[in-house]
Amino acid sequence: MRHDLNERFCARCGSPLADRAIEGRLRRACSSCSHVVWIHPTVGAVAAVVERGELLLIRRRIEPFRGHWTMPAGYVEIDETPAAAVTREVREETGLEVVVEELLDVVCNDDDPRRRGLVVAYLARPVGGRLLAGDDAEEARFFRFGALPEDLGFANNRWLIEQLRRRGLVGSDEP
Ligand SMILES: [Zn+2]
């Protein structure tokens, strides 16, 4: 699937772009100057916030996966580290202050129609704040791992939850 086909004119000189084979694949390239549209995944960060064996999820207010439950996440700003981005996103979406404990994984985001992304996933622990949904979140709450909602958004969230289970990072389902 081509991700650069909506690029029609050169951002540098305004001339039409055309397909040209460059470094092993067809890319949009300027017909007049040397400009090439290099396209790369957007970088995001997601937090598995775990407390007493429960996982923090938000219900999304916006598409994609509007109304579904996902882990707090968002795009990394140009002057931010992924860890800083994830603590900011958790604060904005859930009201909680968290500290990042460890890197869990780096996953792809294949089911976001806005743009293909690389998502840095962290394990994080709440250290303060008050649980209150905000920003892109309609609701925010902790779920026992044995009672996660059915309508989880994003395939990478399901994958990460499976990794948390396998690594024993989550509490038992016993009450
Ligand atoms: Zn050009």
Distance CA(156)–CA(34), nearest Å, equals 37
Q: What separation in Å is there between the alpha carbon of 9 and the centre of ligand 1?
A: 8
Q: What separation in Å is there between the alpha carbon of 20 and the centre of ligand 1?
A: 14
pLDDT at 145: 86
Model confidence at 42, in pLDDT bands (50, 70, 90)?
very high
Residues near ligand 1 ion, CB 5 Å cutoff: 10, 12-13, 15, 30, 32-33, 35
List strand residue ranges (DSSP E) for the chain, in order.
17-22, 25-30, 42-51, 54-60, 69-70, 73-75, 96-109, 117-129, 137-144
Q: What separation in Å is there between the alpha carbon of 25 and the centre of ligand 1?
A: 19
pLDDT, mean over the chain: 91
pTM: 0.86
**CATH number for the domain whose boundaries are 42-166:** 3.90.79.10
pLDDT in tens, 109-135: 988 877 889 999 999 999 999 998 888
Indicate whether 174 pLDDT > 70.
no
Q: What separation in Å is there between the alpha carbon of 32 and the centre of ligand 1?
A: 5
pLDDT in tens, 48-90: 999 998 999 999 999 999 999 999 999 999 999 999 999 999 9
Active-site choice (92, 139, 150, 162): 139
Question: Is 51 part of the annotated catalytic residue set?
Answer: no
Break the chain into its structural domains and give their ranges.
1-39, 42-166
